[in-house]
Amino acid sequence: MITRLLISLLLFCSNFASAAELTDMETRWLTAGSAMLKYAKKDLKLPIDIIVQPTGKPTDVPLALGFQDGRCKLVLTMRNKTNAEDVLSSVPAEQRALMIEAMFAHEVGHCWRYVQGQWHEMPAGFEEHDHAAHGQAQAQAQELEQTRREEGFADLAALAWIQQRHPEQYGIVAAWMRQVRQPSPSGAVVGSHTTMAWLQLASSGDAFAAELPLFEQASSLWQKGLLNQDARQDARQGMRQASLQR
């Protein structure tokens, strides 16, 4: 049953012809993500190809999403890597499949944004922030912010999926994601995956509007987070202007 499922998932896989060639870890991850992948392909009709990398760089994350020629490439890089499951080190063995499922939902959330042509775009009615810096520094700051916003969306997409499919385990997954997204101890650097502003809006699964389609639920909460950030930005600018006028 699992083999048949994996073969059907791997129909689009360019690197391997059969599920028999997958490692145990790859099989475990694809099995944990299979319900999400089925939903993405069958219900949402998202163009997703699964790529299993035979080798990778030590810095490669186990699961990543790229976009090429109008198709999403979900890339597994875990072969010959001893640190592939480090992100799960704090998670009890029996809960790991659940977190892997959330990771697949996160990546599919990225794919959804790509396919909608909204990657790095602000929703209607929102504007890009002006950055104090100029030139290259400004471009970098802007790109970091765009990436961080996409990560925020994808984290909410993952949580919306968990709330829909495993509501009784929502709290465990949300707590794990907050732990993974914890800012660096120095707190000085806002990284591309600093998504806490959005995770805090979703500490309970009730935060999602269950009547909406899955990714619309994520989108609606995500926009609430963007509004909060705008409000903080306006407040900061107000303070800056006030101090200039003094």
CA distance 72 to 36: 14
Of 165, 127, 158, nearest in space to 221 by CA = 158
Between 114 and 208, whose beta carbon lies closer to Zn ion?
A: 114
Question: C-beta of 37: minimal distance to Zn ion in Å?
Answer: 16
Neighbours of 24 (CB within 10 A): 7
Question: C-beta of 134: minimal distance to Zn ion in Å?
Answer: 29
Neighbours of 86 (CB within 10 A): 11
Question: C-beta of 109: minimal distance to Zn ion in Å?
Answer: 8
Residue nearest to Zn ion (CB): 154
Of 166, 155, 40, 175, nearest in space to 106 by CA = 155
Which residue stretch of 37-45, 76-84, 145-153, 162-170 sits at the interface with Zn ion (rule: CB under 5 A)? Answer: 145-153
Between 8 and 192, whose beta carbon lies closer to Zn ion?
A: 192
Question: C-beta of 153: minimal distance to Zn ion in Å?
Answer: 9
84: exposed, middle or buried (Cβ count in 10 Å: 0-12, 13-18, 19+): buried
- With CB under 5 A as the contact rule, the residue among 99, 154, 177, 199 that binds Zn ion is 154
Between 19 and 33, whose beta carbon lies closer to Zn ion?
A: 33
Between 152 and 205, whose beta carbon lies closer to Zn ion?
A: 152
157: contact with Zn ion by CB under 5 A: no
Which residue stretch of 86-94, 151-159, 196-204, 212-220 sits at the interface with Zn ion (rule: CB under 5 A)? Answer: 151-159
Between the CA of residue 208 and those of 159, 179, 204, 217, 219, what are the distances in Å? 9, 21, 8, 6, 10
**Is residue 162 within 8 Å of 169, Cβ to Cβ?**
yes
Contact set with Zn ion (CB under 5 A):
151, 154
